[in-house]
Structures are given as C-alpha cells and as structure tokens.
C-alpha cells in the first residue's frame, strides 16, 4: 500500500478505492475500510 502523504491525499484515496474494487480480499477490504473511515471523519 502507498504511504499516506498529505500531498497525495486524494491520489491515495483513489488508489485505495481502485484496489478495494479489484481485490476484494478480507485483508484489503478491512484495511481500506479503516483508512476510508479516518479519511472521511478525521
């Protein structure tokens, strides 16, 4: 997974969404869900 740099905030979110749609493994889905939660609410 790419590092969450502030400059790449939106780019990272797009990459994570694309990964979540292409690789729906339990691990990736859990990680993306947690990161999206913090991205949206914090």
Report which of residues 41 and 35 the model is more confident about.
35
Q: Which pLDDT band, with edges at 50, 70 and 90, does 1 fall under?
A: low
**pTM exceeds 0.85, yes or no:** no
What is the average pLDDT score of the chain?
Answer: 62
Please check whether residue 17 is in contact with residue 2, taking contact to mean a CB–CB distance below 8 angstroms: no
Averaged pLDDT for residues 23-29: 56
pLDDT at 42: 46
Whether 4 and 12 have beta carbons less than 8 Å apart is answered as yes
| Angle, helix 9-22 to helix 26-41, in steps of 10 degrees | 150
Indicate if the pLDDT at residue 26 is higher than 60.
Answer: no
Contacts of 32 (CB under 8 A, 6+ apart): 16, 17, 19, 20
Using DSSP's 3-state secondary structure scheme, residue 3 falls into coil
pLDDT the model gives residue 41? 54
Task: Map out the domains of the chain as residue ranges.
Answer: 6-41
């Amino acid at each position: 997974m790419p590092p969450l740099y502030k400059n790449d905030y939106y780019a990272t979110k797009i990459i994570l969404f694309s990964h979540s749609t292409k690789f729906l493994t339990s691990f990736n889905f859990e990680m993306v869900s947690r990161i999206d939660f913090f991205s949206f609410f914090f």
